[in-house]
Amino acid sequence: MELELRRLYFPNGTNGEFVHDGAIVCYSIELTWKDNHQQTSCIPEGRYGLVKRYSPKFKEHLCLQKVTGRDLILIHPANDAQKELRGCIAPVSILTAEGKGLGSMMAFEKLKAIVFPKIKTGEQIFLTIKSLSE
């Protein structure tokens, strides 16, 4: 299964849209691009495998595989990239500003409803991250 994350880069955050089969599933927020510096930058554009992961803090969530120079890059709920993210990606229902949004939990549930059943069947899931201007 293939997902896309199409990004727009701004001085105060990175906004995007998760796309599956040509349709927008939800939007996303991330930190700004700062040369892939750990915990202060969004990750590089590219194609990454996704796996299901569990932690006491985030419960069930998604984890990107083989991110150059980084580990534990997660997809989990958050509404303010600067306050709540350390390099991870947060799905949101509505974008409200650069790196900010609303309805993250609802957007994450929508994303999980598409991805988790595929993971359960053993299907590989990939996320391609690219600039929205491409």
Mean pLDDT score of the chain: 96
Quick check: 134 pLDDT over 80?
A: no
How does pLDDT run across 70-107, given as a tens digit for each residue? 999 999 999 999 999 999 999 999 999 999 999 999 99
How does pLDDT run across 86-96, given as a tens digit for each residue? 999 999 999 99
Domain that holds residue 67: 2-131
Q: How many CA atoms lie within 13 A of 77 on its CB side?
A: 15
* Domains: count for the chain: 1
CATH number of the domain bearing residue 119: 2.40.440
Percent of the chain at pLDDT above 90?
A: 94
9-18 core/surface letters (b: 16 or more CB in 10 A; e: else): beeebbbbbb
Predicted confidence at residue 132, as pLDDT, reads: 86
Model pTM score: 0.95
Quick check: 27 pLDDT over 70?
A: yes
